Amino acid sequence: MEKVTMYTDGSCLGNPGPGGYGTILDFEGHCEELSGGYRHTTNNRMEMMACIMGLEALDHQCNLTIVSDSKYLVDSVSLGWAKKWRDNGWRLSSGRRAENVDLWERLLDLLARHQVEFEWVKAHNGHLMNELCDQLATAAAHGSCLFEDEGYTGR
């Protein structure tokens, strides 16, 4: 099974506000960059979208390491919280409805196709690939051709 490292980051100009995602897929030295922006969204949604878009770009099962500076993303998957939310009808342990259900559904389905390990890195701490993803995400958020985030309900 091919080894792939995916580096991801999300950005939001205000939270909520215009946002973007940046993803770099490293296929053992061959890199592919992905990015895109949305008119009105949140930082957490863009962190998730970075991961989703990278996963959707993979056309076969991989041994995948996902590197992110988002504790929300990394902990929710690695600690099994997102699966518990789904199993509980998208309810948190507090009884409140989970946020970003549309993206969690997509993400969990995509993750199930691969052998995945998450790695958290501290943001803005000199990690080269994380910094490059941040630049991609920020540039996308500043872009002139921004998409509508249909799933964002906090308008």
Tokens of 36: 């895109």
Query: Catalytic residue among 47, 54, 99, 149, which?
Result: 47
Query: Catalytic residue among 89, 124, 126, 150, which?
Result: 124
Sign of the CA dihedral with 101 first, then 106, 112, and 118 last: negative
Query: Catalytic residue among 19, 99, 134, 149, which?
Result: 134
Active-site annotation holds for 9: yes
Active-site annotation holds for 102: no
Query: Catalytic residue among 10, 20, 22, 36, which?
Result: 10
Query: Catalytic residue among 19, 37, 54, 69, which?
Result: 69
Active-site annotation holds for 69: yes
- Beta strands 2-12 and 62-68 are parallel
Active-site annotation holds for 151: no
Residues annotated as catalytic are 9-10, 47, 69, 124, 134
